[in-house]
Chain A
């Protein structure tokens, strides 16, 4: 079974981002980067699929040359080879999906497992757009995945409960948080990852025009909430809720 997974290099989600004074973006100096947390679930699931069914895992990133670090991390976890589609542009989800669609047409994987959203842009679009461009079925927000007889049975996190969907392979699966417990890369894994093949391409090598359909014009900080009051006891709290906030 050939499994394709994707990783995005994002700012460390535990760090608070700062907006540039000219409001054209966020400050990147001194910022730490890591693999998008949802992608860790995607990589882990790819490894579990390989452990169960055999085959090969290809990990793909669309991003700057520094994203080789996130590809190597995925390789250290267990991916077999990597593809970096190098670009310094800030692509929208549609452009990333067009790039990935071209990679997938070349690689013809049996299944694609990727994160449901990136924790920087919070768009939650790429997997679905990709599925549409490839005319694949999709199973988003997966918390469970079983593959048998050319179909995937996917448990999905949805509003009001859970849903189960079956999709014929090849399909796009996007990972939610409960899908698995991503493993840490072992030291031998990290050493081995350095020798695994990594191909670097550009969008133009793939014949993809990366013009965005959505442009970000302005970055702003949200309005801060005013500092509140620490109350002494329950009676004071109830009094404030009744008489100040007027919510009781």
Chain B
């Protein structure tokens, strides 16, 4: 059977939302391969996560609880994914193009003697199964084919909708039979706790650039984001200058976001930044430089001083939203 295996992601005992668009990708791929969508959940105490993911129109969920999977390590997860893929006869293995997916899947691909597609934005049949993916910071789209029987794909989750909930699929324990790694150890995960929505899930993103001149000045970006219930992002220049933490970075080398509304404040719009936000539905640019490239992609642009515009905009929006 030419099934599709999705590797689920979870955090703090809950399914990570990036798994859902990955299931949509998998359903589209399964329609082409004529197989079923199976989901693999690895962890320690992931019964609830398995139950949660079972509601999203998949055929079967396999879960493995083991102290070995307590914390994510490519060295222990990769052999488990390989075993599951072989057990269910998967010809496509997919995961979100998150940092975990990017770390894990190439290792899985090598072990399955499979070609891998990174950041797939579409899957379709064109004389065989084909994928579309961006390169050169999103300035080029390519159509690629994987010539190996098994295809491994990381999915750019901003390009697929989440599936609707439906009848729960069957959930089965899976014996991965993986021993602890002797060459790799998890030490710690320092989570950035935030009241704000996760950057890649948020409907509104407000991002600041180097033009803000200091970390303190990011406060007005946060105020605008909080007024709209949005997430806060930053350009690479702002992160490099130490104004914003690295996990706020949007762009080719950071996160890819596609919210309904994106505010680029004091961001010039370098190619590498545009790669991370060009898919946003509505883009607003606020910049004092009328020639800034960001205005070429913005639906609405306001030329002026961000230090005056943003607080005034936030005040006016408070009475509206």
Q: Which residues from chain A sit less than 8 Å from chain B, CB to CB?
A: 11, 13-14, 16-17, 19, 26, 38, 92-94, 97, 117, 119-129, 131-133, 136-141, 143, 153, 156-168, 171, 176-178, 212-222, 225, 227-231, 233-235, 237-238, 240-242, 245, 247-248
Contacts and interface: CB of A to CB of B under 8 A. Distances in A.
Contacts of B170: none
A156 B320 CA distance: 41
Given A94-B110, A215-B147, A158 B78 contact: no
Contact of A241 (B102, B106, B261): B261
Contact of A222 (B74, B134, B260, B300): B134
A163 B281 contact: no
A217 B145 contact: yes
A227 B297 CA distance: 7
Contacts of B298: 228
Given A120-B135, A128-B106, A166 B184 contact: yes
Given A161-B192, A163-B188, A164-B188, A234 B136 contact: no
A161 B189 contact: yes
A122 B251 CA distance: 12
A247 B300 contact: no
Contacts of A143: 246
A9 to B, nearest CB: 15
Contacts of A233: 302
A128 B74 contact: yes
A130 to B, nearest CB: 8
Contacts of B317: 238, 248
B138 interface: yes
B100 A221 contact: no
B75 interface: yes
Contact of A141 (B99, B109, B119, B312): B99
Contacts of B182: 168
A238 B136 contact: no
A138 B296 contact: no
A119 B184 contact: no
Interface string B95-132: 00011101111110111001111110000000000100
Interface string B238-253: 0110000011000011
A222 B282 contact: no
A158 B301 contact: no
A43 to B, nearest CB: 17
A167 B116 CA distance: 25
A117 B290 CA distance: 33
21 contacts: A13-B137, A92-B115, A119-B272, A122-B134, A123-B116, A124-B102, A132-B110, A157-B246, A160-B247, A167-B184, A212-B115, A214-B116, A217-B143, A218-B143, A222-B140, A225-B283, A225-B299, A228-B298, A237-B300, A237-B313, A238-B313
